[in-house]
A and B are shown apart, each in its own frame.
Chain A
C-alpha cells in the first residue's frame, strides 16, 4: 500500500482528494491500479504506450523515480509517492 499525494490541478479527477491509498508493489503497479480506479487521472500521468509523461515527476520517499528504477521502483510498506509537475512553461 502506497500513499499517493496529488498536486492541486489533478485532484479534480478524483473528487478533490489530496491523497489516495493505492495497493501496489511497484510504481507501475500503483499506476495500473489508478488506471482502473480513475482513468482520467492516470492518462495524465502516463501516455497510452505506458511511458511516464515527460514533465510529471514522481517522488518515491523523496527521490524522483527516474533516479531509482523508474516504473519498476519498488514501494515498501508505507511508501509515499508525491506527484508534482516539473518546472516548465512561460
Chain B
C-alpha cells in the first residue's frame, strides 16, 4: 500500500509517502517555499491520482496548481485558474478548500475561497467558475470576517445527489443548495453564536468545520466557534454533542470516519481567556466518538507528553481511505502525527516543519 500525505504549511507544501503500512514516511523538501498552502486535495477518482494545491504567494498572489505525478511537476493555466468575474469587483485572496465531487461527476471539483465564495471546476480543477447563486445571496453583505478572514472553508458535495452541496463559512454559517448551486438557504438552527447578542440567529454563526456521516449523510457533525453539534435531519436542526468533551468546547477540525457511521474525531481547545486557544490541560489529545458524539474518549497513546501548547487548525486533521483508516493531524508548531489504527495509537510522521495549515491523505497505489 502506497499512501500519500500532503502537508500544507505557512511556508510551503511537503509531501510524505509511506509504503509500509503508514509506519515510516519519506518526507519531501518544501515546494512553493515562500507560499502558504492552506488547501489541498488528492483526487483519486482519476486513473492517475491528481494532487491539487491552493498556493498563496505573499508577493504575487493566490493560485491553484495541479500535479499528475505526485508532486514531481506542477501546472496551472496562463490565465488565473480561479478569478472573480469583473462585475463582482472582488479579488481572490486565497483558496481555503479544494473538494473533489463524487464519482458521478469525475471531472467536477469545488473550491472554497476568501472572500467567501464557491467556485466550480468541470475540468478536474484546472479552471473554475464562480457559483453565482451563492455570491448573489442577499445575506452575503452581512457575512463578517472571523479572525482568519472572511472565508468559505468547507465544501461538502452530497455523496448521492449531485445537485446538493453544503458549505461552511466563517462567519456566515452553514448554507446548502439542492439545485446545483442556483439557490442556497442557511441551515444553522440550534448552532450557537456567543459573539452575537440576542436569540440564536438563523445565520451568521462562526462555523469552523463540518463533516458528513459516512453511511448516513443526513447526519452532519459541526465544530463551531463554541460547541460541537450534530444534525440528523440534513442540517435543519442541530443539537449539542459536546457533553463528553472537556469543558473547553472550542476547536477547529472535525473529521468523520470514511466508512464507519458515528465515528468522528476532533481536537478540543480551551476558549477562556486564561488558556486561550490552547489544548485543555496543555495535553495533546485527539477526542474520538464512536456513537455520533454521545460519548467521547481522549486518544493520547504516542502523542507528546505535557505540556503541549500547539493548536490544530480546521483542515489540519484528516482521514485516509485505507482499511483500517489512517487518521492524521498537524500542529501549529510543525508536527504531524498519524494513527494507522483509527486513532488508538499515534506516531510522529515529521516535526520541525513550519506551522501546519492543512493535511490530506489517500492511498495512491
Contacts and interface: CB of A to CB of B under 8 A. Distances in A.
Interface of A: 9-10, 38-40, 43-45, 47-49, 51, 53, 55-56, 85-86, 88-89
Interface stretch (B82-90, B116-124, B225-233): B82-90
What are the nearest 6 A-B pairs in CB distance?
Answer: A44-B60, A47-B91, A48-B83, A85-B59, A49-B91, A40-B78
Among B76, B78, B84, B86, residue most surrounded by chain A Cβ atoms (within 10 Å):
B78
Interface string B65-88: 000000000001111100110100
7 contacts: A40-B76, A44-B59, A45-B60, A48-B84, A53-B61, A55-B58, A88-B59
B92 interface: yes
B34 interface: yes
Contacts of B78: 38-40
Interface string B29-53: 0000010000000000000000000
Contact of B80 (A10, A48, A51, A53): A48
Contact of B84 (A10, A40, A49): A49
A55 B84 contact: no
Contacts of B83: 43, 48
B230 to A, nearest CB: 39
A89 to B, nearest CB: 6
Interface of B: 34, 57-61, 63, 76-80, 83-84, 86, 89-92
A49 B90 contact: yes
Contacts of A38: 78
Given A38-B78, A51-B91, A89-B34, A44 B58 contact: no
A38 to B, nearest CB: 7
A87 to B, nearest CB: 10
Nearest to B89: A49
B60 A56 contact: yes
Nearest to B62: A47
A39 B78 CA distance: 6
A74 to B, nearest CB: 25
A48 B92 contact: yes
B61 A47 contact: yes
Nearest to B93: A47
Contacts of A89: 34, 58
Given A39-B78, A39-B79, A43-B80, A48 B59 contact: no
Nearest to A84: B59
B68 to A, nearest CB: 19
A3 B144 CA distance: 43
Contacts of A51: 91
Contacts of B77: 40
A13 B86 CA distance: 24
Given A38-B78, A39-B78, A43-B80, A48 B86 contact: yes
A39 B80 CA distance: 8
Given A44-B61, A49-B86, A88-B58, 16 more contacts: A40-B77, A43-B61, A43-B80, A43-B83, A44-B57, A44-B59, A48-B80, A48-B84, A48-B92, A49-B84, A51-B91, A55-B58, A56-B59, A86-B59, A88-B59, A89-B34
Contacts of B79: 39-40, 43
B59 A55 contact: yes
B271 to A, nearest CB: 29
Among B58, B59, B63, residue most surrounded by chain A Cβ atoms (within 10 Å):
B59
A88 B11 CA distance: 13
Nearest to A88: B58
A54 to B, nearest CB: 9
Contacts of B86: 48-49
A67 B348 CA distance: 51
Nearest to B60: A44
Nearest to A40: B78
A22 B322 CA distance: 54
A48 B60 contact: no
Contacts of A85: 59-60
Given A38-B78, A43-B79, A48 B58 contact: no
Contacts of B61: 43-44, 47, 53
A39 B24 CA distance: 42
Nearest to A44: B60
